[in-house]
Structure 1
Amino acid sequence: MSVSRSTVLGAVALSGALLLSACASENNGSSAGAGAGGSTESSAASGDCFSGNLKAEGSSAQKNAIDEAISTYQENCADATIDYNPSGSGAGIKQFIAKQVDFAGSDSALKTEEKDGTIESEAAAQACGSPALNLPMVTGPIAIAYNVQGVDKLVLDAEVAAKIFDGQITTWNDPAIAALNSGVTLPSTPIKVYFRSDESGTTENFTKYLKAAAPDAWSYETGKKWTGKGEGKEKSAGVATATKGQDGGITYVELSYAQQNDLKMAQIDTGAGPVELTAESAGKTVATAKQTGTGNDLALKIDYATKEAGAYPIVLVTYEIVCSKYADAETGKKVKAFLKTFASNDLQGKLAEQGYAPLPSDVATKVQAAVDSIS
């Protein structure tokens, strides 16, 4: 597998059991903050290597993070081959349930309620022959990224954002946008909305924000499939690239992709004043997350409608979806060995240098314990 080392900037870490740890500066991302718990050595460095192949698929939001984990593991374990296809969260879960991949990456936990005739958690458990686990491994905010010539600063709130992404507001000088941006010269440029055409956990988290924070303006159900207006592009890279190339363009995308494409990002007014997207501001929202899973299932629920001062409300958590006990014991050993490296202090420190924040010690302890339980 060809492994990318491209930089991912500005994500946030889960903290406490539910609280945010101090994390690296957005500018340099070099501090490991409260670092992961457990051994400072990765499992691979400790000789926990496997020979053969491991296959995974899913979230594109975590692509650069998992690429780094794969590179680190394979540097220490030359006989291991780990392939990760960033096809999107929905595709990853479907492939996991179909037993086509060994684990999946998803920007939302497995559904415990029926949707489209399927209860994901039950279908995954049936595929595994054991309960499936949601293991948070990467966290980060979602930017409302835009490209409008002459507009370097933009404030939006949930209602206006919902109307933009539903095609009700169609030009950048619309009075509703102007009311939030006093003193800013807004052009009459048409608004061009880009959305994820593939099933995406980023879409699900973004629509959860719109639904929770602006229920009267966003009438659609939440989910991995986009239901608003605009033009679809595949994956995070697709919507970011399209927005970069279109004056008047706007999209929702992970912070790292917005940064990589030099896109401007809107400040979000939750009712407590405009909030700029930073690791710290997104972390204040992550701090309100509640664990909804039990035992080694570490699924979380985020309060997208938070009005806490200084909190940036649009965030996601990327989970690795795994079997608690694999039908093939050798596969379980491979998944366990790789994820031990991914959750290790060493690897999380490398992600911090790239802009991802490491798992703080108490959350890392829970994740590591869950990984250790895989068989």
Structure 2
Amino acid sequence: MKLSRNSGLRALTVGAVAVSSALVLTACGSDDNASPGDTKTSGAAKSSIACAKGGQLLASGSSAQKNAMDVWVKNYMAACPGTNINYKSSSSGEGVTQFNQGAVSIAGSDSPLKPEEITASKTICKGGQGIDLPMVGGPIAIGYHLPGVDNLVLDAPTLAKIFNSTITKWDDEAIKKLNPTAKLPSSNIQAFHRSTDSGTTDNLTKYFNATAKAEWPYEHAKAWKGKGGQSAPGSADIASNVKQAEGTIGYFELSFATANNLQTVKLATGAAAPVAASSENASKAIAEAKVTGTGTDLSLKLAYDTKAEGAYPLALVTYEIACDKGNKADTLELAKSFLTYIASEDGQKGLSGIGYAPLPTEIATKVRAQIATLS
């Protein structure tokens, strides 16, 4: 669902920094990794939930929001006996496909709907269309496994070359120049990317398009277009592979790096100092985003090329996708109730221990208002 045209997100920095712990977004589902937020059920969040009368809600999509969804689903179902919310963590592409096939009532996606996807949604959303509702943001971490090398610094051109198999050795001159005091091995780099259509991939390649076009000669896309490398289906899978083998590098949401105790790359952006992947630093970059959605859609355009001090530009916002009109009658009440909860102050703060960036008040207010109009 989408926010008013050209509305700035300057409130994001304040809204996110006010949360003392970083929040990190990851879709809930059947991944093997335990959710860091599983023990964070909040009594305050429960008491604020206006429960639906019951029923089952099917949803799927973004693995980026898995850990957030784990917390949201657990809290909601604990507060609302008789309800069953099943979110399958897969990929943004699969979630949108299943939504437009009518297999799920809500999809999670790290990229806004494309024009052709909106057109396709009108078959399912009788009298309406699918819309993007921004729900939570956070950094895409570049995790690596290289014993003896701490505080690895890379810039966008070097990262693009690594993921396009142009740079294949850890002691490549470009990496050495950015890390003059590091003891870099001469071993091969094993770079992991997503095997399925992924909003995380789309955001990573948008970052490359904005900052390393010469080194990444492909248009951004959910499908991986780079040469070489190894693949895995979800963020949890990539993080697991990086954890298990030395010399590896991959991209995933910060919560997966935290859960697997992985080192993450600092980005050289042109600011005075390299910037670490953190909720606060991602929020500084997301604060420069613009709302580009029209009508009921609230999609955003992020500032991937920012050079602001302390801003981590490799970030994403995950959307929940639903029909503005024409939602399934038997799941509408539960869908609105659940979406209202996760967009609420309690729903956002319930993620405070797992590295996500909550919605700023300005954005959250618009999202809640849009949810209330779903029919």
Q: Confirm or deny a common fold (TM above 0.5).
A: yes
The correspondence for 1:100, drawn from 83, 95, 103, is 103
- Evaluate the alpha carbon distance shift between residue 200 and residue 44 of structure 1 in structure 2; reply closer, same or farther with a 3 A threshold: farther
Which position in structure 2 is the counterpart of 1:345?
345
Which position in structure 1 is the counterpart of 2:277?
277
By how many angstroms is 1:17 displaced?
6.4
By how many angstroms is 1:43 displaced?
8.9
Amino acid at match of 1:72: N
Contact (CA 8 Å) 1:271, 1:307: kept in 2 or not?
yes
Greater shift, 190-199 or 19-28, is seen at 19-28
Which position in structure 1 is the counterpart of 2:67?
64
By how many angstroms is 1:21 displaced?
2.0
By how many angstroms is 1:158 displaced?
0.6
2: distance between equivalents of 1:181 and 1:66? 37
Which position in structure 2 is the counterpart of 1:252?
251
Give the secondary structure class of the aligned counterpart of 2:175. Answer: helix
1: distance between equivalents of 2:163 and 2:105? 35
TM-score (norm 1): 0.87
Contact (CA 8 Å) 2:9, 2:286: kept in 1 or not?
no
1: distance between equivalents of 2:251 and 2:359? 25
By how many angstroms is 1:360 displaced?
2.4
- Evaluate the alpha carbon distance shift between residue 318 and residue 46 of structure 1 in structure 2; reply closer, same or farther with a 3 A threshold: closer
Amino-acid identity (%): 45
Give the secondary structure class of the aligned counterpart of 1:225. Answer: coil
Which position in structure 2 is the counterpart of 1:315?
315
1:353-368 alignment, distance < 5 Å? 353-368=353-368
Which position in structure 1 is the counterpart of 2:238?
239
TM-score (norm 2): 0.87
Which position in structure 2 is the counterpart of 1:134?
132
RMSD of aligned alpha carbons:
2.2
1: distance between equivalents of 2:18 and 2:305? 26
By how many angstroms is 1:318 displaced?
0.5
**Structure 1, residues 231-287: CA drift from partner, whole Å, max 9, x if none?**
111101110010111111000111110111111111111122411222222112101
- Evaluate the alpha carbon distance shift between residue 362 and residue 327 of structure 1 in structure 2; reply closer, same or farther with a 3 A threshold: closer
**Structure 1, residues 75-130: CA drift from partner, whole Å, max 9, x if none?**
12111111000011000000000100001000011012xxxxxx111112332121
**Structure 1, residues 25-54: CA drift from partner, whole Å, max 9, x if none?**
898449xxxxxxxxx976984543232111
Which position in structure 2 is the counterpart of 1:326?
326
1:18-97 alignment, distance < 5 Å? 19-23=12-16, 28-29=21-22, 45=48, 47-97=50-100
Contact (CA 8 Å) 2:278, 2:355: kept in 1 or not?
no
Which position in structure 2 is the counterpart of 1:11?
none
By how many angstroms is 1:336 displaced?
0.6
- Evaluate the alpha carbon distance shift between residue 246 and residue 337 of structure 1 in structure 2; reply closer, same or farther with a 3 A threshold: same
2: distance between equivalents of 1:271 and 1:45? 44
2: distance between equivalents of 1:123 and 1:182? 52
Contact (CA 8 Å) 2:8, 2:291: kept in 1 or not?
no
Contact (CA 8 Å) 1:237, 1:257: kept in 2 or not?
yes
Contact (CA 8 Å) 1:24, 1:355: kept in 2 or not?
no
Which position in structure 2 is the counterpart of 1:124?
121
By how many angstroms is 1:18 displaced?
6.0
Amino acid at match of 1:101: V
Unpaired runs of 5+ residues, structure 1, are: 1-13, 31-39, 113-118
